[in-house]
Amino acid sequence: MKTVRKGDTGKEVKQVQTALQIGVDGIFGNLTDISVRKFQDHNDLDIDGIVGPLTWEALKIDEVKEEEPTPPNTTTDSNYLWIFDNGHGGIIDGVYQTSGKRSPKWDDGSILYEGEFNRAIVNRLMKLCTNAGIECVNLVDTQEDISLSRRTDKANDIYREQKDKDGKSCIYVSVHANGFSDESANGWSVYTSEGETKSDIVASVLAKKAAAEFPDEKMRKDTRDGDADKESNFWVLRKTVMPSILSENFFMTNYSNCHNYLLSEEGRDRIAKIHFQMIQEVEEKKLV
């Protein structure tokens, strides 16, 4: 079997992820590296995160068949084009592409790289939407750290092209994890630009889904204007010409938030779930 390590992609990485019973995306990222190291530790192997002959043998993998992708549901008409933006850079050849934007190094050696997390959520959303016949696009389908201005320019170009094509409206969703200097800061939030806009409708639906899915977690909100979203002058909210929201999915600087949701495959699935539930409701009710 081929030796694989952090930064690698492909069939062998999927086999490792399947054997370790973690999310299978074929990308040897931070979570896979942590899982491999834990497996090596439990099996008295060198803890180097590299899946070589001895680790392959311990994993007891001969050949793992890849699951056939679920075909898209083309019977559902999409009312909107959803533009997903995975904020910040990813990991290239084992190197995180964005300075900062990461958790502390926790006692178990784990680190959450926000750009990797953001991509994991967007990748899940792309699959969920595609399988449901909902039109969507990954705005930054690369591991590179693309500037804010390039992101918004590209999103606005897509919006204009879509208007010329069939008049379908676009909705922009930027996915992030929060951070703060005080580890006690915790909770979930969603942002829109200042003032009353159609973005508030989308954000309110997402906030409702988050509160239902995470009833024991703090929902950080500002209800002074009658809705749950927080308002900010974030570049991506000010410079986009369509309804736009930015979700801050818990705090990577809070140990509990980070391990329960951001570093956890189950937690990531649940975070993607609330975004998809929001998309389904907006689509079904044609809210904007």
Mean of the per-residue pLDDT values of the chain: 90
For residues 42-55, average pLDDT: 92
pLDDT digits (tens, 9 = 90+) for 57-102: 998 764 444 434 333 333 357 999 999 999 999 998 889 999 999 9
What integer pLDDT is reported at residue 75 of this predicted model? 37
- Chain CA centroid to CA 197, Å: 25
Name which of 91, 82, 83, 152 is nearest 117 in CA terms: 91
The pLDDT, as a whole number, for residue 34 is 82
Predicted pLDDT at 28 = 83
Average pLDDT over residues 27-42: 84
Q: Which is more confident, 191 or 69? A: 191
CATH 3.40.630.40: which residues of the chain? 80-285
Q: What is the pTM of this model?
A: 0.74
Residue-wise pLDDT tens digits, 211-244: 999 999 999 988 777 777 899 999 999 999 999 9
Per-residue pLDDT at 276 exceeds 90: yes
Q: 203 and 228 in contact (C-beta within 8 Å)?
A: yes
- Is 70 exceeded by the pLDDT of residue 188? yes
Greatest C-alpha distance within the chain: 61
Work out the number of other CB atoms within 10 angstroms of the CB of residue 264.
16
- Identify the CATH assignment for 80-285 out of 3.40.50.720, 3.40.50.300, 3.40.630.40, 1.10.10.410: 3.40.630.40
Cβ distance 142 to 86 under 8 Å? no
Cα separation values, 75 from 59, 70, 71, 132, 134, Å: 41, 14, 11, 9, 10
How many other CB atoms sit within 10 Å of the CB of residue 43? 13
pLDDT, position 61: 63
Rounded to an integer, what distance in angstroms lies between the CA atom of residue 156 and that of residue 180? 31
